Amino acid sequence: MKLNFYKYQGAGNDFILVDNRDLSIDHHNPKLISALCDRRFGIGGDGMMFLQSREGYDFEMVYYNADGQPSSMCGNGGRCIVAFAKHLNIINTETDFLAVDGPHYAKVSESGDWVSLQMIDVDMVQRDAEAYVLNTGSPHYVQLTNDLAHKDVFAEGRTIRNNATYLAKGINVNFVEPLDEGYFVRTYERGVEDETYACGTGVTAVALAMAQANGQTGTINTPIKVLGGNLNIRFDYDGQKYNDIFLEGPAVKVFSGEIEINPVAV
C-alpha cells in the first residue's frame, strides 16, 4: 500500500507526519516506524507522528520515537504537528489538541511556520549531584558545562542515559553553556539514541532549571541556541512552581510524498 506523508522540521528536529483521521494506518508496528525513520533506507526522521481525530479537541497527536516505540511528549514535534494541522485547514491560528501528556494549547502564525506551544506545568526539579532532573512532558537531565561546541555529546550523553540510575526508563541528557542573554544547548535523546539538532522538551527543561539555578522568579524569557537554530522559552516562576510555559520557534514543511509500504512484511 502507499503511505502519503509530510516531512516537517523544527530547528532541525525532523519528523514524518501522517494525516490518519480516517484511521487507515495501523501504526502499532515498531518495525515499520523504525524503518520509515531510517535515514538511509527510509524517509528519515527523529520521530513519526500521526494526526488523528479526538472528540473535544481539534486533533490528537500520536508520537513515536525513531526506534518505533511510543514516546513521551515531544515539544518540537508538537509544534510541527500544529503547523501541519494548519496546512490541512483543521485549525487557523489557535488550537487545543491532545498529546500523550494531556491537553495542549498553541498559537501558530498566519504564515504557518512559527508556533508557540504551551507545555505542562512543572512543580518539581530534583538534583543529581550538580545536575538538575525534571519532567517537562519527557524526563530530562540538565548539566552545565564549558566548551560545549567541542564536547562529545554522543558519548557522554549515552553514558548518563545508560547509567544505573536511568537505564530502565531512560532519560534525555542536555548539556548547557551560557550564551549572551540565554544558553547554548546540545541534547542526547533517548529513543533516537543519538544527539539531535534540537529537543523542545529539553530546552524547556534547561530554561526552567537555569531559572532555579540563578534564583530568578517572575515572568522569564529565555532564548536558546541549538544546533538547528534558535528557540525561545517563556514562563512564570514563583520560586516553587513553573506555569504558563511556552516553547516557541520555527516549524517548517520540508517536503511531502508517498512511499510504498508493506506493514505485514516489515
Candidates 74, 120, 176, 251; catalytic one? 74
pLDDT value for 265: 54
pLDDT value for 262: 79
Assess whether 224 and 256 both reside in one domain: no
Assess whether 96 and 133 both reside in one domain: no
152 lies in some domain: yes
Assess whether 91 and 158 both reside in one domain: no
Domain count, the chain: 2
Residue numbers in the chain where pLDDT is lower than 70: 263-266
Q: How many Cα atoms sit within 13 Å of 108 on the Cβ side?
A: 25
Assess whether 131 and 235 both reside in one domain: yes
pLDDT value for 217: 98
Residues 6+ positions from 233 with CB-CB distance below 8 Å: 203, 204, 206, 207, 208, 221, 222, 224, 245, 246, 247, 248
Assess whether 132 and 96 both reside in one domain: no
- Residue 37 catalytic? no
28 lies in some domain: yes
Assess whether 62 and 26 both reside in one domain: yes
Assess whether 90 and 186 both reside in one domain: no
Assess whether 108 and 171 both reside in one domain: no
Report the CATH number that the domain containing residue 34 is assigned in CATH: 3.10.310.10
pLDDT value for 219: 98
94 lies in some domain: yes
Assess whether 231 and 146 both reside in one domain: yes
165 lies in some domain: yes
Candidates 61, 199, 207, 245; catalytic one? 199
182 lies in some domain: yes
pLDDT value for 266: 56
Assess whether 72 and 148 both reside in one domain: no
pTM: 0.95
Assess whether 83 and 195 both reside in one domain: no
CA distances from 102 to 28, 51, 55, 60, 119 (A): 20, 15, 14, 10, 10
Assess whether 48 and 112 both reside in one domain: yes
- Residue 199 catalytic? yes
112 lies in some domain: yes
* Domain coverage including residue 157: 126-246
64 lies in some domain: yes
265 lies in some domain: no
